[in-house]
Each structure stands twice: as C-alpha cells, then as structure tokens.
Chain A
C-alpha cells in the first residue's frame, strides 16, 4: 500500500479549497432557499391579494343587492299604495264614527 504524505502546506491548501467549495455550495443553497422562500411569500401575497379582490367583488355585489332590495322596499309606488290601502280601510270606520 502506497501512502502519500502531503507536506503541511499542501494539507493547508486542501483544507482551504474544501472550505471554499463547501462555502460556495452552502452559499448557493442559502440563496436558493432564500429565493424559494421569497417566491413562496410572493405567491402567498398574490393569493391574498387575489382573495381580497374576490372578497371585494363579493362585498360589492352584496351591497348592490342590499341597496336594490332597500330601494325596492322603499319605492314610492309601494309605500304610497300601502298608505292608500290603509287609508281605504280606515275611511269607513272614521265615517261611521262621524255619523
């Protein structure tokens, strides 16, 4: 078996290279992880915005329908018809009293 013994300087240089290589890998991994995290964050924010837009549309639609219903219920035709009906019902009793 052949044993290669490196001189101390070469040993040091190999360690440095290994360190540099590991650091580069680690840095790349970290950057990739950070990019993934940012992308996920971006996606979740876009989802949230999209959801808010949807909720806004739903709320606007609800508001429109409620305003519509309110206006239908309070339309002059409906209210005055009701008032006239009540008046028509009341008139005979009043006239009876007056007699």
Chain B
C-alpha cells in the first residue's frame, strides 16, 4: 500500500508560499538586466518603426496581411510561418541541449516582465525583509500608501504593454490617436485590457508559478538535457558539510566544507528553491544564486564558483563535449531549415492568381448558342511595386473569348484585387468539362506572369 498522496497532489493547488526574492548584484545579474532592457526596448519600440511608408512590423489581421520590413506576407504564405515556428522550436531544443535553460533565465517574457515588475515592487515596498514585514503587518496608512504606489506603477505599465501588443496588430499610430481621443473600438479595448491583465497577473502575482505549473517547456526541457548540458549546480564535494564559522578560520580544522550555510542562494531564488539539493525542474537557470554565492565567497576570501555553471561530466571530472550526436543533429536540422526558409522567402512568387467559380450557375447558354462560364479572379500582388495585368487563356477550343469589364487590371503594391471574368466558347466545342489555363502577364514587366488552372463546364454531350 502506498502512502496517501492526496496531500501531494493537493499541494499543487493549495495556497502557495509567497516567494520574496532578495535583490542580487553580480556578473549574471548585469547580463540579465542588459537582456531585459534590450528585449523590452525592442518590444516597446519596434511597432513605432516605419519602413517604406508603412509600419515596419505589422500583423494586420483585419486586412490579412503581415508586413515584415520590406516583405509583405499573405495567408497564402502560411507554410513559411509554419517553417518559422519549426525553426523556433528546434532552436530552443538546440540551445537547451547546449546550454540548458538559457531561454528561461534571460529571454522568456515571463522572466523579463517579472523582473521589471519586481523592480517596481522593490521601489515601492523596499527590500526583501521590508516587503515581508510589510505583508505581515496590519493595514496602516503606510502600508496602504506603499501598496497603492506599487499598483500605480504596475497598472499603467501593464496597460501600456497591452496597448503596445495590440499595436503589432492594429497600426499603432492610429491606435494612439484613438486612445487620445477616447474613440477606441470595442475589440481593441477588449484586447488591450486582456493582454494588460495577462501581463499584470503573470508578472505581478503568478510569477514563478507560471514556470512551475503552466509552462509546457519547463516540463519537457529535461528531455533535451544530457551529461554535457550546461546547468547551474552546487559543488557538493567542496561545500559540504555546511556550517557557519568565524571569518579567517580554516574550515577543514572544524571539519566543514566551503558552504557557510548563509542561505542567501535560497533567498535570491525567484522560484524559491534550494540549488544545493541538486538540479530541479523548478530551476529557471537565472544564475541569481551564482552571483549571490560568489559575493559571499569573496567576503570569506574563498575562491568563487561554489555554485556555478557546469556540466554533469565536469562535476564528475570527465571531459565535457560540445560536439555530440544530439547537438550535431539539432545543428544540421537547424541549418537546413534556416537556409531552406531563406531560399523560400527569396524566391517566393510575388504574384498570385486565384480563380473562384461562380457558385450560382454551372454554365449559361447564350442566345446565339455559345456557352458562358463566370469566374472571379483574385490577384495578389506581394511585390513592392504596382503591376498592370493583361489576361489570356490557354487550352480552350478555338473561338473562345475572355470578356472582362476592363482590358487591364492594376494591382497596387501589397494589394489584392478581384475581377469578374466571363469565358465563352462556341456552341458544341466543349462537352462536359475541360481544364484550361488563365494567365495574367504584367504589361509593365514581362518577367512577372502567373497561370492558374480553371475548369470550364458545358452541357454534357451537346
């Protein structure tokens, strides 16, 4: 009979011990701040960049067009997006196999926004001890003022984040104009509040619980780890047995290791774990404990690196290999996909033609006995310049004619144009149905042409 695990599974959902991370300084903290400023700066600034008179990065969902600097993508390019997502996934695998949870520690939006929300919290409520004291204390004017000050920073920042996020999908300059004139549309308002609330909740309150209970990557990243993966580890052989000692005393004389058991590595941990218990799923590899421990080692005049980036092999005094089947396979896959993606983007057809059959009638018999089919042509011009197209048909019986309202169709850069087309063939020249080609050639540039297949339907056996 096994032990009742009810308490274990319940603990996942029971009230959590709030983590009060202690502030930390050092090499990796600096690196994390640089990454945070770069990534957040990029996020908040990019929607304001323009390119060729349009927003440089705009995923215009209402118009079904994605602008990425000089390129315009349409839903027809969806497979490119799929390839891009696969590239992103394999990059994640590749870097995880090489260097562990680099993504979690430095680049994940959850980490980055949590970090900046914690800055604001610290600014309003003070350092770790002060925050803990404040939370334990009964409500007072000071507590109210400090909590209100925190919310006064969090809420506008979260709303601005939501607003910027929506700015990737709706032109941000128009969006700012409608915010200023209070004429924001219903959906924009909804999504700004939705993303604002998500930021506020995730970075302000959920924090490490997102990594522990919600993030799928945190659950499966262990599968990419091996003995050569860079992890953050405590050097048990050097540190144990732990214990406090006066400064300047040789720990060996007291039977102690280098760890003075100050617990600072636990206090700085944003997920509230003890790295000295070994590699854990909860560790997001932010390296805060390395900085904290290095500072303590410096004070004690011990060598740094009691907690450090290392590999399982290095810990076991075996050589660490960067090149190994796992990294080679991921690397080769990544190279193939990235170069394939680059070629596909560079050589993609800049003009597309869709033929939609008229849905109401299969065919129409004219007074003079000729048979007519009606189509709607959709021209998609992904090129950076306008084109003017002339139509022609192939594989239709002699005497066939193409009738349109205009002789040429002008499609502006990045635009879609529709054109109704009537195709007529002489009586009796087609029985049943035939396939034929509809071609559009740009009269301004003979290299730009496109052919689409269509079906012509006539009465059977006429």
- Chain B associates with chain A: no
